[in-house]
Structure 1
Amino acid sequence: MAACLGFLGYHYLLAVSLSLVIVLVHGDIHSFNTGHEVVKENEVSSCDFFQGSWVLDDSFNPLYDSSSCPFIGGGFDCQKNGRPDKDYLKYRWQPNGCDLPRFNGNDFLEKYKGKKILFVGDSLSNNMWRSLICMLHATVPNSNYTFGAKGLLSTFSLSDFGVSVNWLKNGFLIDMAYEKIGKVLKLDSISTGNQWLGVDVLIFNSYHWWTHSGRWQTWDYFQFGNKTVKEMDHMEAYKIAMTTWANWVDKNIDPSKTLVFFQGVAAVHLDAKEWNDPNHKDCTEQTEPVKGSTYPGPGVPGEAILKSVLSNMTKPAYLLDITLLTQLRKDGHPSVYAGRGPKFTDCSHWCLAGVPDTWNQLLYAALLQK
Structure 2
Amino acid sequence: MECMIIKTSPRKSSSSSSSTSLLSSCWGFSLAIALVLSYVHIARSLGDVDYEDNYKIIGISSNNNNNNSMVISGNSNISSISSSSCNVYEGKWIYDESYPLYDSKACPFIFKRFNCLKNGRPDNLYLKYRWKPTNCDLPRVHGRDFLKILKGKKMMFIGDSITLNHWQSLLCLIHADLPPNSNIIRQTTDFYSAVIFKDYDVSILRSNSHYLVDIEEEKVGRILKLNSLKMGKVWKEMDILIFNTWLWWNRIDSAGQNSTFDYIQDGNELFTKMEPMDAFQKALMTWAKWVDSDVNTTKTKVIFQAITPSHYNGEEWNETLLVTKCGSETETIGSGSSSSSVEEEDQLTNACEGEIQPISGPVYPAGLPSEWFILKDILDNIKKPVHFFDITTLSQLRKDGHPSSYNDFGGVDCKHWCIGGVQDTWNQLLYQVIK
**Unaligned 5+ runs, structure 1:** 1-14
In structure 2, what is the Cα distance between the partners aligned to 1:121 and 1:347? 18
1:345 and 2:412 aligned:
yes
1:288 and 2:370 aligned:
no
Q: Specify which of 186, 203, 206 is matched with residue 225 of structure 2.
A: 186
Equivalent positions of 1:213-228 (< 5 A) are: 213=252, 217-228=259-270
Amino acid at match of 1:196: W
Identity %: 43
Whether the aligned pair in 2 keeps the contact of 1:117 and 1:165 (CA below 8 Å) is yes
**How many residues are treated as equivalent by the alignment?**
340
In structure 2, what is the Cα distance between the partners aligned to 1:295 and 1:53? 10
Whether the aligned pair in 2 keeps the contact of 1:101 and 1:365 (CA below 8 Å) is no
| 1:80 equivalent in structure 2 | 118
In structure 1, what is the Cα distance between the partners aligned to 2:389 and 2:282? 21
In structure 1, what is the Cα distance between the partners aligned to 2:367 and 2:136? 27
Instruction: Give the match's secondary structure for 1:45.
Output: coil
In structure 2, what is the Cα distance between the partners aligned to 1:351 and 1:91? 13
Amino acid at match of 2:233: N
CA deviation after TM superposition for structure 1 residue 218, in Å: 2.4
1:205 and 2:244 aligned:
yes
Q: Specify which of 407, 419, 427 is matched with residue 360 of structure 1.
A: 427
CA deviation after TM superposition for structure 1 residue 346, in Å: 0.7
| 1:162 equivalent in structure 2 | 201
1:177 and 2:216 aligned:
yes
In structure 2, what is the Cα distance between the partners aligned to 1:16 and 1:108? 22
| 2:76 equivalent in structure 1 | 33
Whether the aligned pair in 2 keeps the contact of 1:153 and 1:167 (CA below 8 Å) is yes
In structure 2, what is the Cα distance between the partners aligned to 1:64 and 1:137? 9
In structure 2, what is the Cα distance between the partners aligned to 1:39 and 1:184? 45
CA deviation after TM superposition for structure 1 residue 149, in Å: 2.2
Judged with a 3 Å threshold, the aligned counterparts in structure 2 of structure 1 residues 87 and 350 are, in CA distance, closer, same or farther, namely same
CA RMSD of aligned residues (A): 2.0
Report the TM-score when normalising by structure 2. Answer: 0.74
Question: What whole-Å deviation, never above 9, does each CA across 1:228-255 have from its counterpart, x for those lacking one?
Answer: 1111111111111001001101111111
Question: What whole-Å deviation, never above 9, does each CA across 1:112-131 have from its counterpart, x for those lacking one?
Answer: 11111111111111111101
Report the TM-score when normalising by structure 1. Answer: 0.87
Q: Specify which of 295, 310, 313 is matched with residue 268 of structure 1.
A: 310
Instruction: Give the match's secondary structure for 2:217.
Output: strand
Instruction: Give the match's secondary structure for 1:165.
Output: strand
Judged with a 3 Å threshold, the aligned counterparts in structure 2 of structure 1 residues 40 and 297 are, in CA distance, closer, same or farther, namely closer
CA deviation after TM superposition for structure 1 residue 156, in Å: 0.5
CA deviation after TM superposition for structure 1 residue 111, in Å: 1.9
In structure 2, what is the Cα distance between the partners aligned to 1:22 and 1:122? 26
* Runs of 4+, deviation exceeding 6 Å: none
Equivalent positions of 1:274-313 (< 5 A) are: 274-279=316-321, 281-313=350-382
In structure 2, what is the Cα distance between the partners aligned to 1:299 and 1:283? 18
Greater CA radius of gyration, 1 or 2? 2
Instruction: Give the match's secondary structure for 1:33.
Output: coil
